[in-house]
Amino acid sequence: MSNINDNKPVIGISCGDINGIGPEIIVKTLSDTRILEICTPLVFANNKVLNFYRKTLPENNITFNIVKGAAQLNTKLVNVYNCWEEDVAVTPGALNETGGKYALLSLTIAAKALKENQIDALVTAPLHKSNVQSSLFKHTGHTPYLKELFGVKDVAMMLVADNMKVALLTEHVAIKDVAQYITKDAILSKLKIINDSLKKDFGLNKPKIAILGLNPHAGDEGLVGKEEKEIIKPTIEDAKQKGIFCFGPYSADAFFARGHHEKFDAVLALYHDQGLIPFKSLAFGEGVNYTAGLGAVRTSPDHGTAFDIAGKGKADEASFREAIFKAIDIANMRNEITTQYANPLKRKSAFVMRGAKDEAIPLEI
């Protein structure tokens, strides 16, 4: 749903833990009025909480427009939907039940708006997994919660930067348990999600995807592990037959060290640190977490609540700002593709998809 008054996407924002850096980076990001030229922000929080942090940031001038629904959005201001009316004690840096309660309230209302197409995309500020656990929320984070809410079979956590995209086969899984999740069905599912997302969300016509191995030296032909030879390689061949251009498995250490990630449009890592350590070390600019396969657009910064600096004005909003920019880009891309391909008679002169990487070839690594 783009705002009826213009073509700017409506970007919903959940506030995260009210005692973490979420509200601070929201205020810092949205105080730059230039962002209102490319989107209409709608923050799901409480104006009193946002004003609490605004007062600690005198150099950040921001005006809020309180709304009770999407019809009241002001495209020239930062809009706030008050998810609660009661006064709440804000204690920056404290990991407590209050922070989790209102983070969850913000998220559930914002996610409902996303599902009902009242907003074009959702950017989630960080929450803390330990204080949002309740009878209503038993998830390890945003991604599994949204997956269940939208009723999709699978999604892919994809870290996105200008020079690389890294998706994960497994997310918050103990290292000792990773191997049992490496199955043909799991790999094929992630590859399909990544492939579809690269096309419709990032405008790539024939994306190339690299797959990392689990074991040192990608198993060394079975000498130091058999997952590559028995599961991953046969799955890659199967995926190619299904029209997915994927290659590997590659030894993770040499792959990133030699810059091979730049030859592909995305990389599928098999576990959390295998993908996130090189991403956070090598990504140009600030990374963004994108949930591919959700059916809606959701991004987030690639950091947590940072209680140690909350309320001190030290939080860097760069990743959060990039998360908003990426949400805008993907929402616009989806809208453009939908519009251009709605009339088959216009396809010949319609939107030209961005070219993929040069034809990938097996790497000697």
3-state secondary structure string across 262-281:
HHCCEEEECCHHHHHHHHHH
Residue 41 falls inside a structural domain: yes
CB atoms within 10 A of CB 196: 15
Going by the DSSP 8-state scheme, the letter that residue 21 receives in this structure is: S
The CATH number linked to 103 is 3.40.718.10
Q: Are residues 21 and 67 in the same domain?
A: yes
Q: Among candidates 291, 337, 311, 31, which has minimal Cα distance to 168?
A: 291
Q: In this structure, is the dihedral angle defined by the CA atoms of residues 338, 344, 345 and 349, taken in order, positive or negative?
A: positive
Q: Are residues 241 and 356 in the same domain?
A: yes
Q: Are residues 60 and 172 in the same domain?
A: no
Q: Are residues 244 and 362 in the same domain?
A: yes
Q: Are residues 93 and 115 in the same domain?
A: yes
Q: Given pLDDT bands bounded at 50, 70 and 90, which one contains residue 6? A: low
Q: Given pLDDT bands bounded at 50, 70 and 90, which one contains residue 225? A: confident
Residue 15 falls inside a structural domain: yes
> Who wins on pLDDT, 335 or 96?
96
Residue 28 falls inside a structural domain: yes
Token pair recorded at residue 23: 């509200």
With beta carbons less than 8 A apart as the criterion, state whether 62 and 54 touch.
Answer: yes
pTM: 0.88
Q: What pLDDT does 342 receive?
A: 63
Total tally of structural domains belonging to the chain:
2
Q: Given pLDDT bands bounded at 50, 70 and 90, which one contains residue 309? A: very high
Residue 332 falls inside a structural domain: no
Residue 159 above 70 pLDDT?
Answer: yes
Cis bond before residue 249 (omega within 30° of 0): yes
Q: Among candidates 188, 210, 168, 176, which has minimal Cα distance to 302?
A: 168
With beta carbons less than 8 A apart as the criterion, state whether 84 and 102 touch.
Answer: yes
Placement of tokens 């959701």 in the chain: 298
Compute CA 181 distance to the chain's CA centroid, rounded to the nearest angstrom: 22
Residue 135 above 60 pLDDT?
Answer: no
Residue 329 falls inside a structural domain: no
Q: Which domain holds residue 231?
A: 154-293+344-365
Q: Are residues 195 and 143 in the same domain?
A: no
Q: In this structure, is the dihedral angle defined by the CA atoms of residues 237, 242, 245 and 250, taken in order, positive or negative?
A: negative
- Cα separation, 349 vs 351, in Å, equals 7
**Percent of residues, the chain, with pLDDT higher than 90:** 74
Q: What pLDDT does 340 receive?
A: 67
User: Angle CA(320)–CA(265)–CA(298) in degrees, nearest 5?
Assistant: 35
Q: Are residues 74 and 218 in the same domain?
A: no
- Cα separation, 102 vs 108, in Å, equals 10
Q: Are residues 129 and 196 in the same domain?
A: no
